[in-house]
Structure 1
Amino acid sequence: MGRLGELQPVPRRSTVEIVSAELRSAIMYGSLAPGAQLGETELAARLGISRGPLREAMQRLVQEGLLVSEPHRGLFVITLDQDDVEDVYLTRLAIERAACRLVMARNRGEAVLRLTEALDALVAAARERDRVAMSDADQAFHQVLVSSSGSPRLERMAQTLLVETRMCLNALQDTYPEPSELVEEHRRLVDAISDGEEERLLRLIEEHMTESIERLRPS
């Protein structure tokens, strides 16, 4: 990282990367609904691109597990049942526990600064009681947590899981915790990192994931 204010090279993104990001976002926010079939002609027209990069982008999402290919039928957005929901959160727990250990072993101070900024965004969304903004801020917080570990592989694995998490929440918005409760859960995570208490941090991240599973369990 250069000095503050120093110009850095701007990363270039290929058309395939941009289209992949657009499709992920559409799946995450539900405009491509679970079980929806993806038509190449329609999508290419909507995105203003040729079919080549679209096909490549869709294959990336197949590899990530967000699309499924059905023989003689085409590509479909995945659907998530209760077992999938639990698996998503348990896998996130494994990734975020590993990330938390690395955060505590590396630049804990930088992580606290980044997470505090992410927490502020969550607080602002909670103040407005905006569920979509809260979900965005919640997801961003956990992305920062994993990113702060310094492990690009953990970060890549977490990305798909966070999209699947958002799909769970879109389907079950009524189970989302109260704004003040959500903020307090995340504030405790930041405090544990700030205080250098690894065991408390690991316990809190486990509670955070297991309680999410319980909230999303059908009554």
Structure 2
Amino acid sequence: MTSRPERVQLPMMQPLRRTSIIDQAELELRNAIYYGDLRPNDGIPEVQVSRQMGISRSSLREACQRLVRDGLLTQIPGRGLYVTRMDAGTMSDFIDYRLGIEMQSATIVADTISTLHRRGETAKIDALLAPLRASLERSRAALAAEQLIEAGNADLDLHQQLAEITTNRFLSTAMNTIVILTRMGSFSDPLGFGVRADITTTHEALIAALAEGDGSRARALLRESLQELAGRLRAGVESDVVRDPDLLETSGPEWTTIGEDTGESV
């Protein structure tokens, strides 16, 4: 007679779930801010937005609170929620934060590449840096076509990819918010959205430093680039920047009021 197997004792675990409506609403709002559909100082009217998304107001509130936590939205008592405008003080703190994340990312990537050099695994180095080189070429093509938003997208994507290459999920998650905050800073610039004219030269130098495993040089280039960004957005210090005057102002999004609250629970 076959004996019954002993019952396996498992640790306490949370039940698995699909992406929730709140997660989807948060992602929609993040994307709208990143792509400029929502600009600094634009309001988020709760009734209209919840109806347009087809979700309950309570679900929208929870999604918005996540963005408030990350600094993407600002809640003004008695007035509601607005896309954050990056003032001088906020920009100063933000640049310090971004420096910490990116400098650590560059250190990890450079150390990894140094190890690969010692092993003679050059093919792996090329594969590791391929996403950065792809973003560089996107920037080059976009600037040549005078597509400034796309050039900015490629720039931010390169920095996001730098964090992704580390395989450190905390750095990647932090950088995901950082790229949106950087975009908000660019749209907060009173002179209008701009991209450095020499952005591809800066990217080439950064990739070259990483390819050599030179973490010190890579960190110095990142610090120089971010200090330039801080001076431009925080203090109005102008450098060689290409601007699009059509991106200076926004009249705000046109929220529809079609449909009714679904009252769904998540």
TM-score (norm. length: structure 1): 0.85
Q: CA deviation at 1:33?
A: 2.8
AA at the equivalent of 1:91: Y
Bigger Cα displacement from structure 2, 137-146 vs 17-26: 17-26
* Aligned residues with identical type, % of pairs: 30
The reply on whether 1:197 has 2:203 as its aligned counterpart is no
The reply on whether 1:218 has 2:236 as its aligned counterpart is yes
Asked whether the 8 Å contact 1:20–1:61 carries over to 2, the reply is yes
Bigger Cα displacement from structure 2, 105-114 vs 85-94: 105-114
Asked whether the 8 Å contact 1:139–1:162 carries over to 2, the reply is yes
2:255 aligned residue: none
Question: 5+ unaligned residues in a row in structure 1: which ranges?
Answer: 1-10
Structure-to-structure mapping, 1:49-88, within 5 angstroms: 49-88=55-94
- Among residues 144, 147, 166, which one is paired with 2:164 in the alignment? 147
Aligned residues: 207
Cα deviation digits, residues 123-169 of structure 1 (max 9, x gap): 22122121111111111111001111111111222222211110121
Instruction: Supply the distance in 1 between the matched residues of 2:211 and 2:18 (Cα, whole angstroms).
Output: 35
Structure-to-structure mapping, 1:36-51, within 5 angstroms: 36-51=42-57
Q: CA deviation at 1:55?
A: 1.9
Question: 5+ unaligned residues in a row in structure 2: which ranges?
Answer: 1-16, 117-124, 238-266
Asked whether the 8 Å contact 2:101–2:175 carries over to 1, the reply is yes
Instruction: Supply the distance in 2 between the matched residues of 1:210 and 1:196 (Cα, whole angstroms).
Output: 23
1:177 aligned residue: 196
Q: CA deviation at 1:61?
A: 0.8
Instruction: Supply the distance in 2 between the matched residues of 1:149 and 1:101 (Cα, whole angstroms).
Output: 9
The reply on whether 1:116 has 2:122 as its aligned counterpart is no
Q: CA deviation at 1:175?
A: 4.7
Cα deviation digits, residues 80-99 of structure 1 (max 9, x gap): 11222232222211110001
Q: CA deviation at 1:187?
A: 1.0
Cα deviation digits, residues 55-101 of structure 1 (max 9, x gap): 22112111212122233333222221122223222221111000111
Instruction: Supply the distance in 2 between the matched residues of 1:129 and 1:100 (Cα, whole angstroms).
Output: 29
Instruction: Supply the distance in 2 between the matched residues of 1:169 and 1:63 (Cα, whole angstroms).
Output: 20
Asked whether the 8 Å contact 2:86–2:188 carries over to 1, the reply is no
Greater share of residues in helix: 1
Asked whether the 8 Å contact 2:148–2:194 carries over to 1, the reply is no
Distance 1:77 1:174, change over 3 A: closer
Instruction: Supply the distance in 1 between the matched residues of 2:232 and 2:72 (Cα, whole angstroms).
Output: 23
RMSD: 2.1
Instruction: Supply the distance in 2 between the matched residues of 1:142 and 1:124 (Cα, whole angstroms).
Output: 18
- Among residues 96, 100, 103, which one is paired with 1:94 in the alignment? 100
Cα deviation digits, residues 174-213 of structure 1 (max 9, x gap): 65321xx111101111111111211111111111111222
